[in-house]
Each structure stands twice: as structure tokens, then as C-alpha cells.
Amino acid sequence: MKQTPEYDKIQENMRKGVITLDGFLGDDTRKLVDIIAEDTFAIHTHHTTKEAIASRMEYFRKEGELGLGEPITVDGKFEVRVDSVRGLLPSPFGGPGMYAKVNTSVLNKTSGKSIVYTDLHIHFIKDHGFFEGKGSPFRLEPKDLIEILEVPRTEEE
């Protein structure tokens, strides 16, 4: 897929050491638009949308915050902790927002599987459909998010 110069610039910002030490692409050599397109396709195979995933992530972030830094049980089956470390991150996509390093950890007690994401991840997915490149230490697999957070289906089969 053809990539615009704007996305070339964004992809440059995502390289190691530009905004964060590890960058956001890992060892993924694909164009940013292709990374996003393939993950979008993966989401659709699970009959949901990036908006639905982000909405679920925001839900756990909001509910987990009520634990004031300690783990809290949400809906009887999720153990959620929202805590922070010092520092802020700007988005490589630009814009005015700075994102606090807030980690949301969600354990699905039924499956025993857990996932950790940040406020920057929520922005990536909600606004850009970006889950980070393959090999990035902080990449989120759409399939894992959908399963662990029990993201509802939004599309007809």
C-alpha cells in the first residue's frame, strides 16, 4: 500500500531512540500503513472494530483507577490495577497530547491470561488503529486484547 509523506514522517518518529528508547516498531520493516492495514484486517476477522477494543481498554482503565493504585476486581472476573511511573510521552502521530505513563494491567481470572497497556496504547488504537510493530516490546496483539478483555462483537457474521 502506498504511504503518504506524512506517514513517512510519523514512521520516522517511531524509530528506536527518537521518542522512546525502544521505539514503537520493533524489527518490523513494513510500511506503517501496511502494519495498520494488517492489524485492521485481523480485527475484522474477529468481528469487531478498533473503536470497540479501545472502548473496552478505556473501560478497564476507568474502573481500575478506582483501586487507587491497588488491584481491584471488576465485573467479578477481571483483576485490574492502574498505576503510574514518572514521566510523559508524546505521541509519534503528533498532536497536542502528552500521555502519562499509566499502566493498566488486566487479568482475566477465567482464562488466567493477562495483558498490560498504557494510555498511549489506547490513543494508538482508538485514533490510529496502531498496535505497534512486530517485535516491539510493547506491541499488543489484537487477538490477545479481544480475548482477554472480552471485547464484544460489533459486526454481523
Partner 1 sequence: MVTTLLISIGIISLISVFLALLMVIADATIGNYGTVKISINDGTKELEVRGGQPLLKALNQEGVFIPSACGGRGSCGMCKVRVVQGGGEYLPTELPWINEEEKKNQVRLSCQFKVKTDVAIVIPEELFSVREYTTVVEKIRDLTHDIKEVTLLLKDPAKISPKAGQYVQFMVPEYELTDESVYRAYSIASPPGDSSRVELEIRLVPNGICTTYVHKHLKEGDTVTINGPYGDFYLRDTDRNIIFIAGGSGMAPIKSMLLDMEKQGNTRKAAYFFGARSKRDLFLLDEMRELEKKMPNFTFIPALSEPQPEDNWDGEVGLITDVVRRMTKDGSNSEAYLCGSPGMINACITVLNELGVLPENIFYDKFS
Of residues 6, 34, 70, 75, which one binds partner 1 by CB under 8 A? 70
CA-only gyration radius of the chain, Å: 16
- 3-state secondary structure at position 72: strand
What's the closest the beta carbon of residue 101 comes to partner 1, in angstroms? 8
Residue 1 near partner 1 by CB under 8 A: no
- Please identify, using beta-carbon distances, which residue of 43 and 82 lies nearer to partner 1: 82
Of residues 26, 102, 128, 147, which one binds partner 1 by CB under 8 A? 102
- CA dihedral (117, 123, 127, 130) positive or negative: negative
Cβ within 8 Å of residue 4, ≥6 positions away? none
Bridge partner list, 117 = 104
CB 151 within 8 A of CB 115: no
Of residues 85, 112, 156, 157, which one binds partner 1 by CB under 8 A? 85
Of residues 138, 141, 147, 154, which one binds partner 1 by CB under 8 A? 138
What's the closest the beta carbon of residue 65 comes to partner 1, in angstroms? 4
CA distance 155 to 151: 12
Residue 76 near partner 1 by CB under 8 A: no
Task: Give the interface with partner 1 as residue ranges (CB under 8 A).
Answer: 17-21, 65-73, 82-90, 94, 98, 100-103, 105, 116, 137-138
